[in-house]
Every structure is written in structure tokens, then in C-alpha cells.
Amino acid sequence: MKCNTKYYLSSCFWSRVVLILFLGMALMSLEGCKSKKKLLEEQQAREQAEMDIRIDKAKAILLKLLQDDGSMSLEEKERQLAFVKQQNLNDPEINRLIRQVEQQLLLERSRLEEERKRQEDKQSQQKADEEAEARKPRVANSFNQIANSSSTESANTLINEALSLFANEDVPVLIIINENRNYTDYDEPTTIGKYLHYLKDQRKNANRVHSLKVNSEGKITKLVLTKD
């Protein structure tokens, strides 16, 4: 009976030891899980804080672009917009601001292109006007030579040379017969081909060059004369 009691007490002791060890291991495992969970939560909190900072920075950039004060070039604005888009923040507010900035920059690019085109057209017109002005003495000299040519053959040669200054022989020629501040009266329109042969036949150049227009190739496309 004593042996059995001793055996029972020993068994109970070891059972308790095992139970205590088991509980200790369970507590350690539980503590480990809590620690991992806490670390994960802390990491997620840090990532969210970083994301919030990135979103705030992106929002500040986009708002500055929308509130353009003229201090940035269009190219710089486009670079900053590209920087924001490359971050792929996938934030509804950021996406909305991006669309607004894209539309604004598209309009600005369009306005700049229109202005560039106007400047190019202005420069082209100025160049054409200068070219036209430079053509006047040569045209006038050609007309005088044709009118004063010594023979029909010579006049025809001079006519062909004069026609090389024009886009074609059907270029319109207008002759001003009366001009005042409010009104300009023209003689019956003709063409440069007909007018040059008229000079040959009349053997007299009674008109002077008033104005002319040239194309991009420097050829005359319109001629206006006025009576001396």
C-alpha cells in the first residue's frame, strides 16, 4: 500500500511537471505570436505612414501645378506630373488631380503650339513681304525691256524670262485706276501672260509696280499695278 502511494505521488509529480512545461511552452508560443503580430502591425503602420507622406507630397505637387503662377515651364510641369504618375499611388484623390492636371497641360500645350504657329506664319509673311519688295525692281525692269524691245523675237525672249519670275502665266494682274482712303477701283483684271504680250504690242510701259505677292518658292502669285 505504501509503495502504491509512493508510486502515485511520483506519477502525479511528473504529470504536473509535464503540464507546467506544456503550459510554459504554450505561453512562450503565444508570446511569440503576439510579438510577430505586433511587429507586423508596426510594419504596416510604418508603411501606411510612408504612403501617407507620399500621397501628401504628390497632392502638393499636383495642386501647385493646377495653381500655376507662371514660374515653371511647360516641360517642367510635364516632368513633375510624370514623376507623380510613376509612383502608382492608386489614390482616388490623386487620380482625380492627375486628370485635372493632364487636361490643363494639354490646353497649355495647345495654346503654345498655336502661338508658335502664329509666330511662324508671321515670320513667313514678313519674309514673303521682303521677298516681294525685292522683286519689284526686277519686275519693273523686265516690263521696260519688253516694251522697249527692238524686235518681236527679242520681246518674246524677254517675255519668257519675265514669266520665270511668276508661278505661272495665269497669275492675276490688277491695275489700279482710282484709289482713295475708302475705295480702290481696278481696271478689268488680266493675267501676267496677257499683260506681257500687251506690253510687247503697245511698246509702252504706262504702269508701275504697286505691290505683289510671292509663294514659298519665291514665285510671284499676284501683281498689282498702278498708272503713272
Domain-by-domain residue ranges, the chain?
Answer: 135-227
pLDDT for 13 equals 61
**What was the pLDDT predicted at 7?**
55
Q: What is the pLDDT of residue 29?
A: 65
Helix (H) or strand (E) holding 145: helix 92-147
Q: Splitting the chain (228 residues) into consecutive groups of 10 residues, what average pLDDT does each group show?
A: 53 64 64 68 76 91 90 92 92 94 94 93 84 89 94 95 95 91 88 95 92 87 90
Question: Are 193 and 185 in contact, with CB atoms under 8 Å apart?
Answer: no
Q: Which helix (H) or strand (E) holds 176?
A: strand 172-179
What is the model's pTM? Answer: 0.54
What is the fold of 135-227? Nuclear Transport Factor 2; Chain: A, (3.10.450)
End-to-end CA distance of the chain, in Å?
Answer: 156
Distance separating alpha carbons of residues 194 and 169, to the nearest angstrom: 8
**How high is the pLDDT of residue 28?**
65
What integer pLDDT is reported at residue 2 of this predicted model?
A: 46
pLDDT attached to residue 132 = 83
| Inter-residue contact 202 to 147 (CB < 8 Å) | yes
Query: Which candidate, 188, 201, 216, places its Cα nearest to that of 128?
Result: 216
